[in-house]
């Protein structure tokens, strides 16, 4: 079988905020520990970079062993938060999912709100819930357990050749961080990730779900939070009307976990 090489691994401790590079990821059925474990909340809705691009100017790192979440912002400075296992329960919804979250307190909420200029709460996941995505494209994920705030699938993957192809159509090239993916691989032709069935080695097996349909978030600079259209969306491949469930513009792919395990930078994965 052909192989790909894992070149980069990333987690996003707070949904919408900046990424943290990793040398290895613990791939679990319900998600990657340390990835989207926290999210900003406002009036029952999750706050992300789609409607609030300023959140991408926030860097966030999470030390799970110490239970410490550290924020930094170029103007607001640094804030260190000790994570709460218990707190006020706040009901939330995300697309069709409905679940409960644990509020992380007034002090961190005030600091983050001041940094991004919007009143928000910081919350973590409460009890696990089930993914509610009842469409044919998401049949591998619908009704599966979930315990973090990933958008569509527990693992996402992008291909360096696809970025090279896309950048060839742009006046100003962009970096891979625009797409907020967990696993970056090389060894595939441009956009060939959308035709995969599975990727695996002795430690882990991942199943292709569907190509990732993109939104305006990809036009957001992931360091400054500024959104100036670079033409990314219009230069991406497009699904047919029958296949799409969102914009139809695709970059990267969503994966389900068939065999949990550890994935490392430099690993080789057989592709089918």
Tell how strand 24-27 and strand 261-264 pair up: antiparallel
Cβ-contact 262, 25 below 8 angstroms: yes
> Can you tell me whether residue 234 is helix, strand or coil?
helix
* Tens-digit pLDDT profile for residues 254-268: 999 999 999 999 999
Identify the sign of the CA torsion 123, 127, 133, 136: positive
**What's the maximum distance between 2 C-alpha atoms anywhere in the chain?**
53
Helix (H), strand (E) at residue 207: strand 205-213
Q: Which tokens go with 170? A: 């742009």
Structural domain count of the chain: 1
Per-residue pLDDT at 244: 74
pLDDT of 115 reads: 96
The reported pLDDT for the residue numbered 232 is 87
pLDDT at 223: 87
Q: What is the pLDDT of residue 246?
A: 76
pLDDT digits (tens, 9 = 90+) for 170-186: 999 999 999 999 999 99
Check residue 1 and give its pLDDT: 65
Cβ neighbours for 192, distance < 8 A, ≥ 6 positions apart: 159, 161
Q: The domain that contains 162 carries what CATH number?
A: 2.40.33.20
Report, as ranges of residue numbers, the positions in the chain whose pLDDT lies below 50.
none
**Cβ count near 201 (within 10 Å):** 17
| Locus of tokens 């992380």 | 104
Q: What is the helix (H) or strand (E) element at residue 161, kind and residue range?
A: helix 160-167
Q: Which domain holds residue 243?
A: 3-271
What are the CA-CA distances from residue 214 to residues 31, 100, 218, 239, 243 (Å)? Answer: 20, 27, 7, 11, 14
């Amino acid at each position: 079988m052909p192989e790909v090489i894992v070149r980069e691994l990333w987690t996003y401790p707070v949904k919408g905020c900046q990424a943290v590079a990793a040398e290895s990821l613990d791939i679990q059925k319900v998600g990657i520990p340390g990835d989207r474990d926290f999210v900003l909340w406002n009036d029952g809705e999750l706050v992300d970079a789609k409607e609030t691009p300023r959140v991408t100017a926030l860097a966030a790192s999470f030390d799970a062993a110490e239970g410490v979440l550290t924020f930094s912002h170029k103007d607001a400075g640094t804030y260190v938060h000790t994570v709460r296992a218990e707190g006020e329960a706040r009901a939330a919804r995300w697309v069709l999912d409905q679940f409960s979250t644990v509020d992380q307190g007034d002090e961190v909420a005030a600091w983050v709100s001041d940094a991004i200029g919007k009143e928000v709460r910081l919350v973590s996941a409460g009890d696990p819930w089930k993914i509610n995505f009842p469409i044919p494209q998401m049949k591998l994920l619908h009704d599966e357990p979930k315990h973090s705030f990933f958008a569509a699938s527990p693992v996402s993957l992008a291909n360096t050749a696809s970025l090279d192809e896309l950048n060839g159509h742009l006046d100003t090239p962009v970096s891979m961080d625009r797409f907020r993916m967990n696993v970056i691989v090389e060894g595939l032709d441009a956009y060939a990730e959308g035709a995969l069935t599975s990727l695996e080695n002795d430690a882990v097996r991942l199943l292709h779900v569907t190509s990732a349909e993109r939104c305006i978030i990809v036009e957001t600079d992931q360091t400054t939070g500024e959104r100036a259209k670079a033409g990314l969306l219009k230069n991406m491949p497009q699904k047919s009307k029958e296949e799409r469930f969102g914009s139809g513009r695709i970059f990267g792919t969503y994966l389900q976990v068939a065999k949990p395990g550890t994935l490392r930078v430099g690993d080789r994965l057989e592709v089918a």
